A and B are shown apart, each in its own frame.
Chain A
Amino acid sequence: MYTFSGKLKTVSLVLMIIGALSIGYGFFTAPKTTQDVEQAMAHDSGHHGEEASHGAPSHGDTAHSEEHSEAEAQSHLEHLLHQGQNRPWTAFFIAAFFFLMISVCVLVFYAIQWAAQAGWSIVLFRVMEGISAYILPGSILLFLFLLASGMHMNHIYVWMAEGTFDPSSENYDAIVAGKSWWLNVPGWIIRSFIYLFVYNIFRYLLRKNSLALDTSADIKIYKKNFNLSIVFIVLFGILELFMSFDWLMSLDPHWYSQLYSFYVFASVLVSGITTIALVTIYLKNKGVLPFVNNSHIHDLAKYMFGFSIFWTYFFFDQFMLQWYANIPEEAAYFWPRLIGSYQLPFISMLVMNFVFPILILMDSDFKRVPWFVVAAGLIILTGHYIDVFQLISPATVGDSWSIGIPELGSLAFFMGLFIYVVFTSISKAPLHAKGNPFMKESEIYHY
């Protein structure tokens, strides 16, 4: 049995308070009118001239030449205003999505362990269940964000803008209007609700059965969880496709990619496994996981290594196919990332998510050293946060991005909430899942 240490609780509460204040500060300081944007531009004028020419191709080629008219200047300001207003929302969305999907993917990994009847991972089941406890608060917060977007409180999803589907409007966009059978707010909200509902209901059922198995050791409950896991894996696989189309790909409604869902899944799955490893090592250091030996850590590190490469494979497949064919409507997606203002996060994420894991986690002996796995895990998590950042931010904030108080504040808030929820849940049940028929095998597991 684990008791939530007071120190960690304080840390998580402090993170949450600092985070909430920073989120509030981000919303408070976001520009309200075009005058605010003009003022901010005047503040760093010398710097901005350079930025504007950088950003030019994304606004159209002629907009920034000397003779641009008053109306064009006004529309440019409005564009910048929306980007500025989007910044705190984007920061919130990135962190909310990242932490929610970490816990959902931990649940997926957990279901895979059930369905595969894995023998090694049973001693980690309670850790995985604990991490997946974050799904409920995480999905409530994310759903609130989605509702706010659907109610036009922000400009995150451009296809929601007034008049996009209306041919008589000057906002009319024929390409996006052609997708309105899928991309419309009511359908989108209903689908989002279904995704979140499925995550929550399966987490609830799997956890309930797992706890019931603890006291009764009834094989019927075991079989029930086995079947539930298979259903969950299949459902998740299907819904994940549409989830990433709806939440992330529709940020750029002109662009599409078939690999996108797998890419997003690989990114959050490796983060989820890394989180399992980090929490396991933390609990082991506390001495509450007596049966976890370095073979279990070794296995988790192998998964981190393997799925890092899995992620790289999907990243490169998607990138290289579009880079090679260079069809303008596809290449426009990669322009800000590869050449434009997102070059630094884009390249550094590749180094953190591929080069570091492959070099650090290749050696078998290193994978058994906890501090080594922790170091690699922190690099992987940072890298995948940046990955989610570069998935979302170019479409919503554009060239006005930076990593400052709103971004770090959101990250701190969700990290605090995550730590609080996860460790509260872990402290609620014994860490030894007794009734599982594979428990003995897992206890003496040795690689």
Chain B
Amino acid sequence: MSDKVIHAIYDDDDVLLKAVKEVREANHHIEEVYTPFPVHGLEKAMGIANTRIAITAFLYGITGLGFAVWMMNYMMIEDWPQNIGGKPSFSYAENMPAFVPIMFELTVFFAAHLMVITFYMRSKIGPFVKASNPDPRTTDNMFLMEVPVTGDEKELETFLTKTGAVETKIVDKH
């Protein structure tokens, strides 16, 4: 197996979407597609599985809620149950309305922040991460599809040109 890939460059997102469908129908594997902006329906055309980040956010939210309940139950009810302005600190339930703002905020805080961190980790984004962009034009106005070369590379190149690519080049992948 060679480690060569073809970079097919497109200049229109509609052409790209059609090309992705054609390439998949011709049973070529698409390694990656680089676009300057979100192309609606691209992940569906590429057959990428749905994200599960909403599920993680829900679980993080429950964690935050649990943390808030545990924290305030320990501090306000168990550790030092003082009479503060006549609030009933005999049990958590009796003083619960006073804790709801914190329970709510910590739920949102955990859900939001941990979900964002999960997103960074899963998509490998960080402050000093080297940009993995094969062609700087894909951040501006070009769309790039990366297809690994298996078999005849000339045939693949003409096929990709036929799908509307304005430029193709064969690159060695290290």
Judge if B26 is at the interface, Cβ distance under 8 Å: no
* Interface size classification for chain A: under 10
Are A326 and B86 interface neighbours, CB within 8 A? yes
Are A324 and B58 interface neighbours, CB within 8 A? no
- Count of chain B residues with a beta carbon within 8 Å of a chain A beta carbon: 6
Chain A residues whose CB sits within 8 angstroms of the CB of B97 once the complex forms: 316, 319-320, 323-324
Kindly provide the distance from the CB of B42 to the nearest chain A CB, expressed in whole angstroms: 16
- Of chain B, the residue at the smallest CB distance from A323 is B97
Bound Cα distance A337, B120 (Å)? 47
Kindly identify which residue among B58, B86, B100 contacts A316, using a CB–CB cutoff of 8 Å.
Answer: B100
Are A320 and B100 interface neighbours, CB within 8 A? yes
Judge if B98 is at the interface, Cβ distance under 8 Å: yes
Kindly provide the distance from the CB of B115 to the nearest chain A CB, expressed in whole angstroms: 14
Question: Which chain A residues in 316-332 approach chain B with CB under 8 Å?
Answer: 316, 319-320, 323-324, 326
Are A362 and B58 interface neighbours, CB within 8 A? yes
Are A324 and B98 interface neighbours, CB within 8 A? yes
Kindly provide the distance from the CB of B66 to the nearest chain A CB, expressed in whole angstroms: 16
In the complex, the number of residue pairs spanning A and B with C-beta atoms less than 8 Å apart equals: 12
Interface string of B76-104 (1 = CB under 8 A from A): 00000000001000000000011010000
Bound Cα distance A359, B97 (Å)? 21
Chain A residues whose CB sits within 8 angstroms of the CB of B100 once the complex forms: 316, 320
Question: Which chain B residues in 96-122 approach chain A with CB under 8 Å?
Answer: 97-98, 100
Kindly provide the distance from the CB of A193 to the nearest chain B CB, expressed in whole angstroms: 39
- Of chain A, the residue at the smallest CB distance from B55 is A363
Bound Cα distance A211, B98 (Å)? 52
Bound Cα distance A324, B101 (Å)? 12
Kindly provide the distance from the CB of A236 to the nearest chain B CB, expressed in whole angstroms: 30
Interface string of A318-354 (1 = CB under 8 A from B): 0110011010000000000000000000000000000
Kindly provide the distance from the CB of A317 to the nearest chain B CB, expressed in whole angstroms: 10
Chain B residues whose CB sits within 8 angstroms of the CB of A364 once the complex forms: 54
Specify which of B97, B98, B100 lies most central, judged by the most chain A CB atoms within 10 Å of its CB.
Answer: B97
Kindly provide the distance from the CB of A135 to the nearest chain B CB, expressed in whole angstroms: 37
Bound Cα distance A62, B48 (Å)? 73
Bound Cα distance A207, B97 (Å)? 45
Chain B residues whose CB sits within 8 angstroms of the CB of A319 once the complex forms: 97
Kindly provide the distance from the CB of A343 to the nearest chain B CB, expressed in whole angstroms: 13
Bound Cα distance A316, B100 (Å)? 9
- Of chain B, the residue at the smallest CB distance from A320 is B97
Kindly provide the distance from the CB of A386 to the nearest chain B CB, expressed in whole angstroms: 20
Bound Cα distance A326, B86 (Å)? 10
Kindly provide the distance from the CB of A435 to the nearest chain B CB, expressed in whole angstroms: 30
Chain B residues whose CB sits within 8 angstroms of the CB of A362 once the complex forms: 58
Q: Apart from A320-B97, A320-B100, what are 4 other A-B pairs with CB-CB below 8 Å? A: A316-B100, A323-B97, A324-B97, A326-B86
Residues of A near any B CB (own CB < 8 A): 316, 319-320, 323-324, 326, 362, 364
A–B Cβ pairs within 8 angstroms, 12 of them: A316-B97, A316-B100, A319-B97, A320-B97, A320-B98, A320-B100, A323-B97, A324-B97, A324-B98, A326-B86, A362-B58, A364-B54
- Rank and list the top 10 A-B pairs by shortest CB-CB distance, nearest first: A320-B97, A323-B97, A324-B98, A316-B100, A320-B100, A324-B97, A319-B97, A362-B58, A326-B86, A364-B54
